[in-house]
């Protein structure tokens, strides 16, 4: 019972102090829409909202979750408040799950903001919402744990944001969000298949447009594996660098 009280206390504190701050709103919601609008204005073809919806949803999750962890973890480490949390009578696993659960929830909400807008502009009948929800959740989990891995690898917020962009912007082009993986040059495909967002985006394409090319079961399995690996690496990093 005490563990759950500590978990919810940390989660609610983070939601109150960090999650609705301007940097998270701008990177998590405004930036994906602005980037996508620019993409639309550059094309000469009619816009198929349903076709690009999986990419917009995945990108909203990616930028929202990674930006959030860059702020919460690195800021608290710099202010030394994270060290006080490490002394709390709860396990490190529980502490880090509490610190990341809010970002996962925020990422899921981010994903359905463009979906709500799309519902007013196009017909979304036939969408497999159960599979979509599963894909959105696992994208949020892997993106959050990627943000955690980045945040515990640096010491300043600006370093975390810069390091995040090293991963985020290549993912926009390599993970099939707007450019199909099948059309990428041969030498880029291995890199694309090494990135977790490729499998998350493909799940959304399958569930929304039936245009995915990877077996959903394989994509789900790989995303679970990526999430566990990123969380494990992050915990190891914290134990080696922060816990003395």
Alpha helices (H) in the chain, listed in sequence order: 2-14, 22-25, 31-42, 49-78, 81-86, 92-121, 129-151, 157-174, 189-193, 196-209, 216-241
Residue 218: its pLDDT value, please? 96
3-state secondary structure of 28: helix
Asked whether 150 and 160 are in contact (CB, 8 A), the reply is: yes
pLDDT digits (tens, 9 = 90+) for 124-176: 888 999 999 999 999 999 999 998 888 887 766 667 777 778 888 889 889 98
Return the top range by mean pLDDT from 35-39, 119-123, 142-146: 142-146
Dihedral-angle region of residue 123 (phi above 0 means left; psi in -120 to 50 means alpha; beta otherwise):
beta
Distances (CA, A) of 213 to 68, 135, 200, 208, 223: 31, 15, 12, 13, 16
Q: Are 226 and 196 in contact (CB under 8 A)?
A: yes
pTM of the full predicted structure?
A: 0.88
Question: What's the rounded mean pLDDT across residues 201-230?
Answer: 94
> Between these two residues, 1 and 174, which has the higher pLDDT value?
174
With a cut of 80, say whether residue 83 has pLDDT above it.
no
Find all residues with CB under 8 Å of 211, minimum gap 6, and list them.
51, 205
Radius of gyration, CA atoms only, the chain: 18
**CB distance 46 to 152 below 8 Å:** no
Residue 25 CB burial class (10 angstroms; 0-12, 13-18, ≥19) = middle
Q: What is the pLDDT of residue 37?
A: 62
pLDDT value of position 123: 85
Query: Would you state the pLDDT for residue 198?
Result: 95
Helix (H, G, I), strand (E, B) or coil at 55: helix
pLDDT at residue 240 greater than cutoff 90: no
Distance of alpha carbon 232 from alpha carbon 226, whole angstroms? 10
Where along the chain do its domains lie?
17-35+47-241
């Amino acid at each position: 019972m005490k563990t759950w009280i500590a978990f919810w206390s940390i989660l609610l504190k983070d939601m109150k102090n960090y999650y609705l701050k301007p940097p998270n709103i701008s990177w998590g919601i405004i930036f994906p829409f602005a980037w996508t609008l620019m993409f639309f204005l550059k094309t000469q073809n009619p816009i198929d909202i349903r076709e690009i919806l999986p990419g917009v949803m995945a990108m909203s999750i990616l930028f929202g979750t990674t930006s959030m962890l860059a702020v919460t973890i690195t800021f608290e480490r710099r202010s030394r408040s994270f060290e006080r949390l490490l002394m709390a009578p709860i396990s490190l696993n529980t502490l880090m799950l509490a610190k990341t659960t809010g970002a996962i929830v925020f990422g899921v909400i981010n994903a359905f903001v463009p979906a709500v807008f799309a519902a007013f502009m196009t017909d979304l009948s036939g969408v497999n919402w159960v599979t979509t929800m599963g894909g959105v959740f696992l994208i949020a989990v892997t993106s959050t744990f990627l943000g955690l891995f980045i945040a515990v690898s640096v010491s300043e917020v600006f370093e975390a944001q810069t390091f995040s962009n090293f991963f985020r912007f290549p993912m926009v082009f390599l993970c099939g969000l707007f450019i199909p993986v099948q059309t990428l040059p041969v030498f880029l495909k291995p890199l694309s298949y090494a990135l977790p967002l490729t499998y998350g985006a493909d799940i959304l394409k399958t569930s929304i447009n039936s245009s995915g090319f990877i077996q959903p079961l394989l994509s789900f399995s790989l995303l679970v594996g990526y999430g566990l690996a990123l969380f494990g690496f992050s915990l190891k990093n914290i134990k080696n660098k922060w816990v003395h």
